[in-house]
């Protein structure tokens, strides 16, 4: 294995998930380049919680890994080859890749909600191969040229940031919206950054982990509150949240998705407010829905994102959002480093975003 995971004979190599806790760098034969496709030399790949879930459990929600799969979906790279019809990028361009390919024929795609396409082909969502590889082939229209002042790592961070952007759009966050964020993991933190960029004047964030809360404070949260995992503490914690906010909580983002976090979100949000469920921790929950409905608290969900990459690149390039502090660990692309990187991400603790440099 040579530098950057390239084999001695120049084969394209990728990180394959072969089973639970079984990741191996092996050759990856790419599909042929279509007229509207580009071949990308991947240079930066972040680890997502879903990647860790696939590694540790062989599944994430309803998606099960039943055969070997290349992992990874948060990525950016350099255009190495373009299809005959491609006009949007040229060889040598640095690009951020949006990982989901809609069918463009169904009612959801035609209506603009391509993120809800039932036939979506998404990097590293079984059975579709991901992007932790030397090279991938991808539609040119899903490869967005990076402004000169942005790094490839920042390009890869467009993917998690897109979740926060889409959540803020769904919840209509604006200059008069007070925001509570439940969960200070990577998605909670990008939602904090997005809410600030959309003008939220006050943001309170809660979590069980003191280190992640300290990061949230450095990133601009107005108040941080450490909470417990015990349901009996909800009443007292809601009081703390409301006291810290000083006014009503207009929008709450639950970036965890447990019964306790969703109950906290519903109870803390002001009458006529909105709760946006971002995290998918539990498939089923027991929550006080009727009292929330009686106060006209709306509940909205999100699934991934749509049409967010141009917005992400503009916010990053302009300096309105800085994702660089979220990248806490960096690894190369060798067998030992891939294994160590995923263990680092799985441990959590001081690891927020773990990034591969290929």
CATH number at residue 40: 3.90.180.10
9-23, 60-74, 91-105: which is most confident: 91-105
Mean pLDDT confidence for 335-353: 92
77 beta partners? 42, 95
Contacts of 238 (CB under 8 A, 6+ apart): 264, 267, 268
The answer to whether the beta carbons of residues 241 and 204 sit under 8 Å apart is: yes
Share of the chain above pLDDT 70, in %: 97
**Mind listing the pLDDT tens digit for each residue in 78-127?**
999 999 999 999 999 999 999 999 999 999 999 999 999 999 999 999 99
Structure confidence at residue 9 as a pLDDT band (50, 70, 90)? low
Q: How confident is the model at residue 356 (pLDDT cuts 50, 70, 90)?
A: very high
Q: Left if phi > 0, otherwise alpha if psi is -120 to 50, otherwise beta: which for 246? A: left
Residue 278 lies in a domain: yes
**Binning pLDDT at 50, 70 and 90, where does residue 348 land?**
confident
- Same domain (yes/no): 132, 198: no
Across the chain, what does the average pLDDT equal? 95
Residue 98 lies in a domain: yes
Confidence at residue 282, expressed as pLDDT on a 0 to 100 scale: 85
Residue 46 lies in a domain: yes
pLDDT at 8 over 60: no
Q: Are residues 197 and 88 in the same domain?
A: no
Q: Tell me, letter by letter, the H, E, C secondary structure of 25-79.
A: EEECCCCCCCCCEEEEEEEEEECCHHHHHHHHHCEECCEECCCCEECCCEEEEEE
pLDDT average, residue stretch 35-57: 95
Check whether residue 183 and residue 138 sit in a common domain. Answer: no
Q: Which domain holds residue 337?
A: 13-145+323-357
Cα distance from N-terminal residue to C-terminal residue, the chain = 13
Q: What mean pLDDT is predicted for residues 334-347? A: 95
Judge if 96 and 221 occupy the same domain: no
Same domain as 201, residue 276: yes
21 and 96 belong to one structural domain: yes
> Over 60: is that where the pLDDT of 1 sits?
no
Q: Is residue 4 part of a domain?
A: no
pLDDT value for 61: 78
Helix (H) or strand (E) holding 182: strand 178-182
Is residue 335 included in any domain, yes or no?
Answer: yes
352 and 241 housed in the same domain: no
> Residue 62: its pLDDT value, please?
81
Say if residue 247 is in the same domain as residue 274.
yes
Confidence of residue 4 (pLDDT cuts 50, 70, 90): very low
Say yes or no: 290 and 180 in one domain. Answer: yes
Indicate whether 166 pLDDT > 80. yes
Residue 1 lies in a domain: no
Indicate which CATH number applies to the domain containing 213.
Answer: 3.40.50.720
Is the pLDDT at 68 greater than 60? The verdict is yes
For residue 313, is it within any domain?
no
Look at residue 25 and tell me whether its pLDDT is greater than 50.
yes
pLDDT digits (tens, 9 = 90+) for 126-152: 999 999 999 999 999 999 999 999 999
Note the pLDDT of residue 16. 97
> Do 22 and 97 sit in the same domain of this protein?
yes
Residue 206, pLDDT above cutoff 50? yes
Return the number of other C-beta atoms located less than 10 Å from residue 345's C-beta.
24
Residues 99 and 175 in one domain: no
Q: What total number of domains does the chain contain?
A: 2
Task: Give per-residue pLDDT as tens, 284-301.
Answer: 899 999 999 999 999 999
pLDDT at site 349: 73
The pLDDT of residue 350: 87
Query: What percentage of the chain exceeds 90 in pLDDT?
Result: 91
Residue 344 lies in a domain: yes
Residue 321: which pLDDT band, with cuts at 50, 70 and 90?
A: very high
């Amino acid at each position: 294995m040579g530098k950057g995971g390239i084999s001695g004979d120049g084969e394209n190599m990728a990180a394959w998930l072969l089973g639970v806790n079984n990741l191996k760098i092996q050759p990856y034969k790419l599909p042929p380049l279509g007229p509207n496709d580009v071949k990308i030399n991947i240079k930066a790949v972040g680890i997502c919680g879903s990647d860790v879930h696939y590694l540790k459990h062989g599944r994430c929600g309803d998606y099960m890994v039943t055969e070997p799969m290349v992992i990874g979906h948060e990525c950016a790279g350099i255009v190495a080859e373009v299809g005959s019809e491609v006009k949007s990028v040229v060889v040598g361009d640095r690009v951020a890749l949006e990982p989901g390919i809609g069918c463009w024929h169904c009612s959801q795609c035609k209506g603009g909600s391509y993120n809800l396409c039932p036939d979506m082909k998404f990097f590293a969502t079984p059975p579709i191969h991901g992007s932790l590889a030397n090279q991938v082939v991808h539609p040119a229209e899903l490869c967005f040229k990076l402004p000169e002042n942005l790094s490839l790592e920042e390009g890869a961070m467009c993917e998690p940031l897109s979740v926060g952007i889409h959540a803020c759009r769904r919840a209509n966050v604006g200059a008069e919206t007070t925001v509570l964020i439940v969960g200070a993991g990577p998605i909670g933190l990008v939602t904090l950054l997005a809410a600030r960029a959309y003008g939220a004047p006050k943001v309170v964030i809660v979590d069980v982990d003191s280190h992640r809360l300290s990061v949230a404070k450095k990133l601009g949260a107005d108040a941080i509150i450490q909470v417990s995992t015990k349901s009996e503490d909800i009443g007292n914690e809601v009081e703390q949240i409301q006291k810290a906010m000083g006014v009503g909580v207009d929008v709450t983002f639950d970036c965890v998705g447990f019964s306790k976090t969703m109950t906290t979100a519903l109870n803390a949000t002001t009458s006529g407010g909105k709760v946006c469920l971002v995290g998918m921790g539990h498939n089923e929950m027991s929550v006080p829905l009727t009292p929330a409905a009686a106060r006209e608290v709306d509940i909205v969900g999100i699934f991934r994102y749509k049409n967010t990459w141009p917005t992400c690149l503009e916010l990053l390039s302009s300096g309105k959002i800085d994702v660089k502090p979220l990248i806490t660990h960096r690894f190369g692309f060798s067998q030992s480093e891939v294994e160590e990187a995923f263990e680092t991400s799985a441990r959590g603790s001081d690891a927020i975003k773990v990034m591969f440099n290929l």
